[in-house]
Amino acid sequence: MTYTRVLANALWLLAATLIPSGEAGAQASLPSSPSGKTLMCSSPRTATHASHRYALTELPLSLRAEEHKQVPCTRSKTMSRSSSTAYRRNVLGARQSCGRLCVLSPGACFQLLRCLPRPARTAPLRMDEASPATGGHGKRDMERLGATVRKYTAHASCSERLRNIDVLQLSVVFAPLVLPALAFFNFENAVTDFHVMLDILSNDNWVQVDGGISKAASLTPVMNGIVLPSVSVALSTLTAITVSSLRVRQLELRKHLNTEASLLRSLHSATETLLPRAHCGTDGTRALLLLQQYVNRVLSECAPGADLQELALGAANSELDGLTRLFHRARQMRAARKSDEKGDEYAAWVEPRFYATTEVFPQIYLRDIEQVRSKRLATLQTTFPPEHWLGMTTLGAFILVAFLLAADQDLLRFLAPLQLRLLFAVLVGTLVGIACVCADLNAPFRGAFRISRVADQFGSIRAEIEQNLHRDDG
C-alpha cells in the first residue's frame, strides 16, 4: 500500500510538472463591465458564471481594481478602516507575489484571515511600530500576516494546479506508455482469460491433446488471408481520413482566428475614429462595450470544453448585429465652433485627414468579421459522429482478438513467451497511440496539438478596448 501511494503521488507530481494549469485561463473571457456586472467569467474548462476563481495576474489593470474591491477581510469593532485596508493590501500583495498560479477566491481569503492568529500585545507600543491609525497593528504584524498568507496561498495554488490538470492531456501523455507496459506484464493472464472465455462460449467438454495446434493451423489461413487484411485496410483508411481531416480542421481554425483578430483590431481603430466618446457620447461607449463583449464571446468559444450546440445557436446572433445597427443609425458629426478670448472662432474637433474614406470601412469590417465567424463556427462544428469512433474501436478490437486467437496455443506460449509479450505490447501501443492522436486532434483547444495560443491575441485586443473605456472615464 505504501509503494502504491508513493507511485500515485509521483505520477500526480509529474503530471503537474508536465502539464501547466491555467492554459485556458489566458484565453477564457474575464468579467468586465463599467457597471460592475459580470459579463463573462474565466474558467479552465468552460466559460460559466461567477463561481470560478480568477487568476489575478491574467486580469487587466482595470479589472484588478474591481477584483481588489471584492476581496473581504476580517475587521473587528476596534479595528480602524486603515487597518482593514492594510489587511486587504497584504492579502492582495501575497496573491500577486505567487505568480500565475496564485489564485484565492474571496471566500477562501475570508476563511484564511479568520484562521490567522493575532499576537496579543501587553506592553505599550511605540509610535513607529503601531499607531491608532493602524488600529493597533504595526508593520511587523502586517509583514507577518503577508508571509503567512503567502504560505497558505502557495499551498492552495499547488492544490489548484493539481485540480486543473486536463484529463485529456494527461491521458495523451501517459496512455501510450502505461498501457503497453500493462499489456507486456499481463499477457499470460489475457491469453488465459481469453481461452477460458472461448471454452465457455463454445461449451467444449473435452481437452485438446495437441495444445490447440490443429485448431490454430485450420484458422490461420482464413484469419491471415481474409479477415486481418480486410480489417487492417479498413482501420488504416479510417485512421488516415480521421487524422487528416482533424489536422486540416485545426489549420483552418488557426487561419480564421488570425483573420478575425486582424479585422477586430481594424474595427476597433475605425470605431475610435468615427465614434469618439468625447463628441458622440453614449454611441461611442455603446460601440466599445459591444466590441468588448464580442471579444469575450470569441474567447469563450475558444475555451476548452465549449458546447458546440450552444455555438451553433449563436452563429448568426451576436454583438455584431448591434454594432451594425449602431453604424447604420450613426448621426453625421460636425466640428463644433467655439470662440477664444479674442473672439476668434476655432474648430473644437479636427477631423482626421482620411475621415471621409474611413466612414465606409467599419461596415466592410463588420461584413468580413461575420463571414469569418460563420466559417470558423462551421469548421469548429465539423466533427465525426459517435458511430465513426465506435467503428474504429471495433476494428482495433478485432485485430487484438485475432492476435489472441493466433497465440492461443500451449506450445507457442511455452516456446516464445517473451516474443509474444513484445508483439502484444507493440500491438496495444500502436492502437492506443492512434486513439490518443485522434482524441487529441478532435479537441482543437486542448491537448498536445492545441491551437489555444492563437486566441491569446484576443486578450490583448480586449485590454486595449478596456483601456479606452477607462481612460475616457478617468
For 25-42, b/e burial (b = at least 16 CB within 10 A) is: bbbbbbbbbeeeeebbbb
Contact (CB, 8 A) for 79 and 59: no
Residue in 101, 105, 98, 92 with CA at minimum distance from that of residue 164: 101
* Per-residue pLDDT, 161: 52
For the whole prediction, is pTM greater than 0.95?
no
Contact (CB, 8 A) for 408 and 216: yes
* Per-residue pLDDT, 168: 65
Contact (CB, 8 A) for 439 and 168: yes
What is the rounded distance in angstroms from the CA atom of residue 283 to the CA atom of residue 275? Answer: 7
Q: Residue 75 has which C-alpha cell?
A: 475587521
Residue with cell 486532434: 441
**Cβ partners under 8 Å of residue 28, min gap 6:** 40, 41, 42, 43, 44, 47, 299, 300, 303
What is the rounded distance in angstroms from the CA atom of residue 51 to the CA atom of residue 48? Answer: 8
Q: How many CB atoms lie within 10 A of CB 229?
A: 11
* Per-residue pLDDT, 60: 37
CA distances (Å), 113 to each of 33, 57, 90, 229, 471, in order? 29, 21, 11, 68, 34
Angle made by CA atoms 254, 255, 260, in degrees to the nearest 5: 100
Q: Residue 86 has which C-alpha cell?
A: 492594510
* Per-residue pLDDT, 50: 34
Contact (CB, 8 A) for 273 and 284: no
**Cβ partners under 8 Å of residue 152, min gap 6:** 112
* Per-residue pLDDT, 68: 38
The identity of residue 128, as a single letter, is D
Rg, the chain, Cα only: 32
What is the rounded distance in angstroms from the CA atom of residue 294 to the CA atom of residue 58? Answer: 19
* Per-residue pLDDT, 150: 54
* Per-residue pLDDT, 312: 64
Per-residue pLDDT of the chain (474 residues), as tens digits, is: 444 454 455 555 555 544 444 433 333 333 344 333 333 333 333 333 333 333 323 333 333 333 333 334 344 444 444 444 444 444 344 333 333 333 334 344 334 334 444 444 434 334 334 444 444 445 555 555 556 545 544 544 555 554 555 666 677 778 888 888 888 888 888 878 877 777 777 666 655 655 566 666 666 776 777 788 888 899 999 999 999 999 999 999 999 999 999 999 999 888 887 787 767 768 888 888 889 989 988 888 888 777 766 666 666 678 888 888 888 777 665 554 555 566 555 555 555 555 666 677 888 888 899 899 988 888 888 888 889 999 999 999 989 888 888 777 765 666 567 778 888 888 998 899 898 889 888 888 877 777 877 877 888 888 888 888 877 555
Give me the percent of the chain exceeding a pLDDT of 70.
Answer: 49
